[in-house]
């Protein structure tokens, strides 16, 4: 274990903005040398930051920076950037594979050029960067590879909505699984780090809208967790799939409120992809996934559920929620239902509410029942594409608390 990263050379892919840049700034405070490797040399029309603006921030924070134009899909560019890093700083101590592409599309809507982009950046890029940095990492007295990738969770739910993206992201994690053992002989620590909750970055805001910020944490939580991992002894810390919150808590940091974008929502944060709440978690396991059809005895679960909800309605519940929900259900029990928790003592029914809905939630009827049964949180359903929301996102995600209140009564 080292006390800090002063003088260490860290090559970070995708470091012009977001999590990559935030990790760079944390290391820069120690006086680290940062290779800012990313494609963005010219300002993006919708996203802030370039490799040059990031380099200026790194140097202002106390580090040394080398901005390098890099497309991790280009083998010649990768070799050139690695050589530039070695020529400038004398070697490479740490590689952070952060560059990634995302497309949350089901198989029919995934164009092969998007499939190729994700696999070439996420999986192939991580493999190539690790391969080319290896000779220099072998010479370092404190060598780490850290992939910003998730734990390998084989629950089918994490595949079914966006199998191409999951495969590409898990490819990065499989590099950890294999390389940590392969490189153990060289004393190189190879680990993965992933957020427990959604992380608010400009790229994520472009994908999901500005309202998602309230239910997210700042990228600084990933930066602080990465710092704690990278200051550990690489010979003793390898082959781990770290979760940011767990790393901080192990280090004695228990108050995570400062990391919330909006502290008022610190207890309503959306979980990130690939992290279940418990074994089996949010989705069916492999041994049961083959039998997805509802049995005859389960038919009519949605009307039964609304009837039970109706028995639980009261003025106090209406006062605490203050929202009208329109549910558009698909699948085995397709139809429209509403839940009025804004007027009188509450009301439910089939069809549309008499007052305008604050938000409309569209999902498969099976997922709808799972939400009220406590097996699936609305935030997790939204993040994984199982739930589509139109209207007031903040009121829609109030359903998390509503679920808890109703579940005890159902």
Q: Which residues are catalytic?
A: 165
Q: Give Cα 128 distance to the centre of its chain.
A: 23
First and final CA of the chain: distance in angstroms?
52
Task: Name the nearest CA neighbour of 188 among 138, 147, 226.
Answer: 138
Distance CA 266, CA 214 (A): 8
Strand-pair category, 335-341 with 323-330: antiparallel
Nearest to 127 by CA among 150, 154, 99: 99
Q: How far apart (Å, rounded) are the C-alpha atoms in residues 13 and 26?
A: 15
Sole residue written with tokens 């530039």:
84
Give, as one character, the DSSP assignment of residue 295: P
Distances (CA, A) of 380 to 19, 153, 268, 281, 383: 21, 15, 11, 11, 5
**Residue reference for tokens 């910020």:** 213
Q: Parallel, antiparallel, or unpaired for β 94-97 and 9-13? A: parallel
**In terms of DSSP bridges, do strands 347-350 and 335-341 run parallel, antiparallel, or are they unpaired?**
antiparallel
Rounded (10°) angle between helices 163-182 and 125-137: 20
d(CA 9, CA 93): 5
Report the run of H or E that residue 113 belongs to, with start and end: helix 112-118
Residue with tokens 């074994």: 279
For 16-33, give one letter per residue: b (16+ CB within 10 A) or e: bbbbbbbbbbbbbebebb
Rounded-to-10 torsion of CA 21, 27, 28, 30: 170
Cα–Cα distance for residue pair 190/146, rounded to 1 Å = 6
Cα separation, 300 vs 298, in Å, equals 6
């Amino acid at each position: 274990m080292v006390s800090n990263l002063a003088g260490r050379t860290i090559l970070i892919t995708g470091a012009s903005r977001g999590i990559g840049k935030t990790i760079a700034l944390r290391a820069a405070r120690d006086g680290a040398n940062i290779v800012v490797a990313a494609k963005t040399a010219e300002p993006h029309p919708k996203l802030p930051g370039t490799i040059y603006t990031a380099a200026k921030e790194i140097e202002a924070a106390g580090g040394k920076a080398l901005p390098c134009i890099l497309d991790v899909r280009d083998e010649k560019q990768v070799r050139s950037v690695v050589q530039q890093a070695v020529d400038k700083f004398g070697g490479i101590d740490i590689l952070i594979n952060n560059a990634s592409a995302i497309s949350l599309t089901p198989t029919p809507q995934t164009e092969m050029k998007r499939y190729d982009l994700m696999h070439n950046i996420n999986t192939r890029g991580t493999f190539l960067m690790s391969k080319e940095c290896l000779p220099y990492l072998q010479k370092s007295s404190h060598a780490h590879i850290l992939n910003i990738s998730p734990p390998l969770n084989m629950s089918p739910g994490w595949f079914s909505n966006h199998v191409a993206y999951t495969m590409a992201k898990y490819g990065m994690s499989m590099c950890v699984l294999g390389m940590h053992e392969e490189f153990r002989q060289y004393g190189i620590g190879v680990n993965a780090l992933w957020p427990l909750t959604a992380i608010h970055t400009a790229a994520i805001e472009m994908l999901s809208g500005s309202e998602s910020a309230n239910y997210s944490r700042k990228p600084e939580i990933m930066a602080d967790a990465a710092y704690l991992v990278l200051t550990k002894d690489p010979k003793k810390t390898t082959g781990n799939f770290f979760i940011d919150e767990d790393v901080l808590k192990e280090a004695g940091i228990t108050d995570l409120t400062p990391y919330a974008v909006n502290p008022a929502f610190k207890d309503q944060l959306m979980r990130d992809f690939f992290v279940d709440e418990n074994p089996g978690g949010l989705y069916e396991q492999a041994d049961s996934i083959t039998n997805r059809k509802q049995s005859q005895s389960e038919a009519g679960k949605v009307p039964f559920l609304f009837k039970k909800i109706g028995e639980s309605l009261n003025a106090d519940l209406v006062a605490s929620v203050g929202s009208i929900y329109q549910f558009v259900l698909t699948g085995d029990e397709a139809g429209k239902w509403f839940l009025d928790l804004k007027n009188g003592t509450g009301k439910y029914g089939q069809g549309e509410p008499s007052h305008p809905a604050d938000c409309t939630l569209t999902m498969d009827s099976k997922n709808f029942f799972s939400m009220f049964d406590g097996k699936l949180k609305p935030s997790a359903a939204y993040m994984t594409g199982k739930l589509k929301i139109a209207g007031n996102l903040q009121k829609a995600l109030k359903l998390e608390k509503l679920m808890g209140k109703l579940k005890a009564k159902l």
